[in-house]
């Protein structure tokens, strides 16, 4: 296995799927390569495609706020990536063949970073990494053993921006679950949601 920087260099000229034709920038990932916490979203949007960094638009601002408020952590202390590294046209869902073509990059990132906690944001990353067919509403609310660490599925921040209070409260509870897991406590003890 080469280095993470070598993998990023390889991705920067990737033509493994049709998304390559429409991208401005390959949005590989950003953050601390030694991070304990890795966040995995879906794919770059317009802002990310232009800037080359994941979660820099409105969803990213909410993500930064939740990281600060619930985990006391700046984004620079985590590693942030997406299931697909190139923007799908008009922000459509990534197709199965695009997800499959891009998967070796995500797998490489996970193998290099070896985070203690992976927080998956939304359906695509949660289903892919858990190898489950259920939607995020069913999957979230608990921790899953994942490659020697823990995976915590949560909603995508865009869903909280659309869906309002309940989705946001669920995300906050999941971020607290991540914090407790990182601190070595049992994530199962979180009851913040029911308490409102
Ligand atoms: N949504 C995602 O899933 N990823 C990003 O990087 C930005 C928005």
Task: Return the structure tokens found at 113.
Answer: 């970073």
Assigned domain for 150 exists: yes
Report the separation in Å between the CA atom of 145 and the middle of ligand 1, taken as the mean of its atom positions.
Answer: 24
Number of structural domains (the chain) is 1
Query: Which segments of 22-164 does DSSP mark as H helices, in order?
Result: 46-51, 58-66, 96-113, 123-130, 136-139, 157-163
What is the CATH number for 65? 3.40.470.10
| pLDDT for 185 | 54
Span from the CA of 44 to the centroid of ligand 1 (angstroms): 5
* Residue 60 CA to ligand 1 centre (angstroms): 7
Looking at residue 192, what is its pLDDT? 45
Angle at 131 between CA 126 and CA 136, to 5 degrees: 30
Distance separating alpha carbons of residues 118 and 115, to the nearest angstrom: 6
Residue 41 domain-assigned (yes or no): yes
Residues of the chain with pLDDT under 70: 185-196
For 133-184, write each residue's pLDDT tens digit: 999 999 999 999 999 999 999 999 999 999 889 999 999 999 999 999 999 9
pLDDT for residue 190: 45
- The atom of ligand 1 lying closest to the CA of 53 is 6
């Amino acid at each position: 296995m080469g280095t993470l920087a070598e993998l990023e260099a390889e991705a920067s000229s990737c033509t493994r799927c049709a998304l390559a034709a429409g991208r401005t920038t390959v949005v590989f990932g950003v953050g601390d390569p030694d991070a304990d916490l890795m966040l995995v979203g879906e794919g770059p949007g317009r802002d990310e495609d232009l800037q080359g960094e994941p979660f820099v638009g409105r969803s990213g601002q909410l993500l930064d706020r939740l990281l600060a408020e619930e985990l006391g952590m700046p984004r620079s202390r985590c590693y942030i990536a997406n299931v697909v590294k190139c923007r799908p046209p008009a922000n459509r869902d990534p197709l199965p063949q695009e997800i499959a073509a891009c998967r070796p990059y995500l797998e490489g990132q996970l193998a290099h970073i070896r985070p203690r906690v992976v927080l998956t944001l939304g359906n695509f990353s949660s289903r892919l990494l858990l190898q489950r067919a259920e939607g995020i509403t069913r999957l979230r609310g608990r921790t899953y053993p994942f490659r020697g660490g823990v995976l915590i599925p949560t909603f995508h921040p865009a869903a909280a921006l659309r869906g309002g209070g309940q989705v946001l409260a669920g995300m906050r509870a999941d971020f607290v679950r991540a914090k407790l897991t990182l601190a070595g406590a049992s994530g199962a003890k979180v009851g913040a949601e029911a308490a409102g």
